[in-house]
Amino acid sequence: MPRPPQKNQALNFQPWFLFLLACYTVLELSFNHRLLELAGDLKWNTTQVQLNDIEIWGRIVSGLGLALLLMRWLDNWVRSRVLLLVICCALGLFSMWQVQKALVDTIVARADAQDLTMSWKSQMSTQEALNGRILLRGETLLTSPAPPEIRPVMSALWASSVAGLYPEDLESDSGASQLMGSFFAPQITHSQRVAAYRKTVMTPVVLAASLMFGLLNLCQLFAGGFAWLLMAIGQDRLVQRCKPWLLPALTVFCVALSWWPGNVWTTSPAYQRVASPALWADKPYLAPFVAWSVHAEPAWADSVAWVHRALLQDFEFKVPFRHWLGYEGTQPSPQGQPVR
């Protein structure tokens, strides 16, 4: 008669832990899609409060993802599973909160006037980039409008991908855009420039971290679920044979599936010859997050959209206790007022 795993077996074979992994996967994928919605808003309806909230949620989601990994690694060292859960959640949340905040704050603090100007100009040029009307130092970005599968990701990460360039490196071949830029240049304050630059930095950092932890825990879920099923039907020997390589193999497969296919954006001459090398040279701390995000996010864009809409019903990821954390801003993310 088939027997399910017993309580004294490894954590990754426990149904309750697999349930936690499944819940976290839904949360992480939904969060990923919500961040893409806010960061890629081309109508400039996203408020600073929403960006602050999603940044806080990013630290929480990444912290929980790290906690689930720590639980697997520390399972043999802590006897009580309740104590293990508490310790790992505390370590994961504290670590991700401090690391992500310190990284974003440091990069933003080191920004000069040119970085702020470039960030603002690139955000203003996002629609032109999506339409395939932007050149980077004369190199072609897109030969036609961006396909639907990469538009949400490109809308959110375009400014981040060109953060290593100078404002004059962006060339628009649209006469209308050049005319609008000359006669209707927006007047913006220094605080708006800083907010725009923080968004440029925060988006790839939070996206990359959350997606990486999401994929690792998704692999944990598949590996644990498969092993649990084998044990339930009495295939203990097969489980022992698969145990050393199953999770690493799934992880390599998911990372390869995320990175290898590429897309018209990351394979374009403008990205490969101009944007990416400039970012690695000028902002090496930001470049890995941007590189992972622009490659991996399009591969999972449809999945994260479905999970967010179908399973979490477009949950908005607000922070009701933001005043405890010192985030009271209510100002929108304005596009600026045109010169009259």
Residue 272: which residues within 8 A CB-CB, separation 6 or more? 266
**pLDDT 10s digit of each residue in the chain, 340 long?**
444 444 456 788 888 999 999 999 999 999 999 999 999 998 888 898 999 999 999 999 999 999 999 999 999 888 899 999 999 999 999 999 999 999 999 999 999 999 999 999 999 999 999 999 999 999 999 999 999 889 999 999 999 999 999 999 998 865 444 434 444 456 778 888 999 999 999 999 999 999 999 999 999 999 988 888 888 888 888 888 888 898 899 999 998 988 887 789 999 999 999 999 999 999 999 999 999 999 999 988 888 999 999 999 999 999 887 666 555 544 444 444 433 3
Q: Which helix (H) or strand (E) holds 116?
A: helix 113-124
Burial of 245 (0-12, 13-18, 19+ CB in 10 A): exposed
Write the pLDDT tens digit of every residue in 54-107.
999 999 999 999 999 999 999 988 889 999 999 999 999 999 999 999 999 999
Q: Where are the alpha helices (DSSP H) in 233-337?
A: 236-259, 269, 276-282, 287-306
pLDDT score recorded for residue 6:
45
Round to whole Å and give the CA distance between 130 and 146: 5
Strands (E), the chain: 134-136, 139-140, 170-172, 186-187, 337-338
Handedness of CA 93, 49, 204, 296 (dihedral sign): positive
Tokens in use for 148?
């639907």
Round to whole Å and give the CA distance between 257 and 51: 29
Residue 132's alpha-carbon distances to 154, 160, 278, in angstroms, are: 12, 17, 20
Enter the DSSP assignment of 332. Answer: B
pLDDT score recorded for residue 235:
85
